[in-house]
Structure 1
Amino acid sequence: MRMNRFLLSICVVCLICSCTTNRLSRDNSRALFFSDNYIKSIMLKAAEWQLKNPKHHIKDWTNGAFYAGIFATWETTKSENIYNTLMELGEKTAWEPHKRFYHADDVAICQTYIDLYQLEKKREMIQPTIDTIARFIANPYPKTHKAEIIKWWWCDALFMAPPVMTKLWKATGDKEYLTYNDLYFKECYDLLYNQEEHLFARDLNYLLQPDGSGRKEANGQRIFWSRGNGWVMGGLVRMLQDLPSDYPQRPFYEKLYKDMAERIIGLQQEDGLWRASLLDPESYPGGEVSGSGFFCYALAWGINNKILDKKKYLPAVKKAWISLNGCVNEEGRVGWVQPIGGDPQKNFSENNWEVYGTGAFLLAGSEVIKLPKK
């Protein structure tokens, strides 16, 4: 009977949206997609497909996002196979970050190491991360182009590195990690956050000049990248889940998170997803899953932790989750993911997948399953 229900659910998923408005079912209240059994099943299916189809260096930033989703899958399902896979990751990498001690991308994988350390309590699982972050703090950033004027000079870095800092604080009790995290985060915030739009520019190349010149979308709007802002929100909730409730800087992060959340739900499209470029959706047909997955994850987390109003935000999360499921094929492959890049692009379809898109989907599922049932 359980198998029949699961097969039925997969069939229904295949019948709804393919991330385009005209194929989206408008019934966003159906309970199927929100049952615990279904969510666990689709998460395992997506995780297992992606694990069988690896891509990129295992310590690459792409896999940093993916393995964050794999850890969330283990937390949700308690699958022994998933846990063994996570431990194998650490054994293969010797619990080491990637090559560049100074680059946020290359420590993203450390989030998973620290999460596993909290379960295993073996110092060798976090010592390489501690040593790398110490070098990062002690040394200036080796600039290679004009955008690199601060250590976290691109907005996606706020997913890669800040959760590493807050997780290290939680693992070690050393508050210096929080102090430096505040310093570097606020440098990025001051440089790239638009106070009117409540969104982050990707980097200095996407800020307009005082005379209004600079890169703009076809409709004349500023360029705000869906994935970049999705990763900022994902990083914020991963920080907030570890920051102490009485931490003096916590109100700053909570306000930023709530301001972005309110802006983001206003930019959700009719099909439940967000476009690669947030302010020019008409130029970017088709939803983009890596940005949309992180928005779904972050908004659901806010509801679950009573930071966001359930009545206001729950419909948006439900709509997004149903649509995200429509982007998972019968094999468990998560499609409609924009390829690697640093700005909004249109060169993707249902056949485009990336490990970070799967990671975003898995993280979304790990919070959607916790949503209030009534």
Structure 2
Amino acid sequence: MVNKSLLKLVVLVTIFSISIVQKSTAQDALDKAAIEASMIKALEWQEAHPIFALAPTDWTEGAYYTGVVRAHKTTKDQIYMAALKNQAYWNNWQTYTRLHHADDVAISYSYIYIGMNDKRKGFVDLEPTKNFLDAHLYEDDVWKQGTRKNEMGQTILWWWCDALFMAPPVLNLYAKHTKQPKYLDEMHKFYMQTYNQLYDEDEQLFARDMRYVWKGSKKDKKEENGKKIFWSRGNGWVLGGLALILDDMPKDYEHYSFYENLYKEMAARILELQPEDGLWRTSLLSPESYEHGEVSGSGFYTFALAWGVNNELLDKDVYTPAVKKAWNALAKCQHENGMIGWVQNIGASPEPASYDSWQNFGTGAYLMAGSEVLKLDK
């Protein structure tokens, strides 16, 4: 009698365990067709609702079309290339106007990618990109001299962490495309200035700018919980940018290990900080300040972590569950019409987002995330 009861209990426990495993597996499974459809829907909505901060060649468009680039690179769907070529043509292949501001060359990432994939003579024009990069790197400027200083710490060329997404991937890709390593060397020089000024080795995160670098003073900016302020999208810019850089940087480049090590260090920290629902809050060390996650920072993290898994830089068993959880949470932020909500508006510090808040760079982050999530489990 006891043996029959024990056997029945074992069978029930086994059935329950199998049910839990099957349920978990079903939740973790990725519907690749649904992901691709979601990405196209996001693209089509964004193309029908153009928005930019300054001009069609500004950094917001640069970030958005970087997402379109990555979507095309993964799927080869011509809808993405059509969007890329159309914007480049109507922009006349121009950058934006501030030659010593990293933001204003971000759009060139898409131009260079088109140039690497379209060999028609006379269609692609990278001369404006070259002119910008040469002025940006080699012309003298007050920021490089350290003579222009305000509360944000504008004493170096790339004085805010977002800049590490805007210019370095462009320089890296341009060096690869043109086979001119001098641009890579210049990129590394200015990248190190930003790293040395803004990277917090204790927290393994980047301050947005010098206003948020702790100096042990009572006047230092703090969260209500007393911790340092680290902006989610700001660190998303950096980690996403690192994945872009490593994707195109020659592995035998003398400074490759610096970027790989920084990437792995930040990836581990971002994994530690992921909330249970999958979406990172706009303030990384004070998630309790915000009830809902934010899509742009979370999108960049999802892209970067998935890229690391796909390229065997991150442990698949450790990071894949976090990536899938993040993607499933991101997908829930897409409206039925394709719009990507819960995107913090343009800013420089942690602020709330909402169901209806959107920006083109949020769509770009979503496309970047999807482009790497599609490659998981292959």
Q: TM-score, normalised by structure 1?
A: 0.89
Aligned: 1:35 with 2:31: yes
Which residue is 1:18 aligned to?
A: none
Aligned: 1:73 with 2:71: yes
CA distance in 1, matches of 2:224, 2:24: 32
Matches within 5 A, 1:195-234: 195-211=201-217, 213-234=219-240
Aligned: 1:254 with 2:254: no
Task: Could you tell me which runs of 5 or more consecutive residues in structure 2 were left unpaired when the two chains were aligned.
Answer: 1-22
CA distance in 2, matches of 1:31, 1:43: 20
Q: CA deviation at 1:135?
A: 0.7
Among 291, 299, 302, the alignment partner of 1:293 is 299
Among 190, 201, 208, the alignment partner of 2:196 is 190
Q: CA deviation at 1:60?
A: 1.2
CA distance in 1, matches of 2:166, 2:374: 24
Contact 1:32 1:38 in 2 (8 A): no
- Is the partner of 2:220 in helix, strand or coil? coil
Change (3 A) 1:137 1:125: same
Matches within 5 A, 1:73-222: 73-121=71-119, 124-143=124-143, 145-146=149-150, 147-211=153-217, 213-222=219-228
Q: CA deviation at 1:32?
A: 8.2
- Is the partner of 2:248 in helix, strand or coil? coil
* Higher alpha-carbon Rg: 2
Matches within 5 A, 1:240-319: 240-319=246-325
Q: CA deviation at 1:145?
A: 4.3
Change (3 A) 1:139 1:29: farther
**Amino acid of the residue matched to residue 353 of structure 1?**
W
CA distance in 1, matches of 2:25, 2:337: 25
**Amino acid of the residue matched to residue 59 of structure 1?**
T
Q: Indicate the structure whose relative CO is greater, using CA pairs within 8 Å and at least 6 residues apart.
A: 1
Contact 2:282 2:294 in 1 (8 A): yes
Contact 2:57 2:96 in 1 (8 A): yes
**Amino acid of the residue matched to residue 225 of structure 1?**
W
Q: Percent identity?
A: 47
- Is the partner of 2:194 in helix, strand or coil? helix
Question: Could you report, residue by residue, the CA deviation over 1:35-90 in whole angstroms, capped at 9, with x for unpaired residues?
Answer: 32111111001110111011012111111110111122223333333322211111
Contact 1:275 1:284 in 2 (8 A): yes
Contact 1:28 1:322 in 2 (8 A): no
Contact 1:198 1:259 in 2 (8 A): yes
- Is the partner of 1:125 in helix, strand or coil? coil
CA distance in 2, matches of 1:326, 1:219: 29
Aligned: 1:46 with 2:56: no
Change (3 A) 1:187 1:135: same
Task: Could you tell me which runs of 5 or more consecutive residues in structure 1 were left unpaired when the two chains were aligned.
Answer: 1-26
Q: CA deviation at 1:137?
A: 1.3
Contact 2:28 2:325 in 1 (8 A): no
Which residue is 1:62 aligned to?
A: 60
Q: TM-score, normalised by structure 2?
A: 0.88
Contact 1:107 1:129 in 2 (8 A): yes
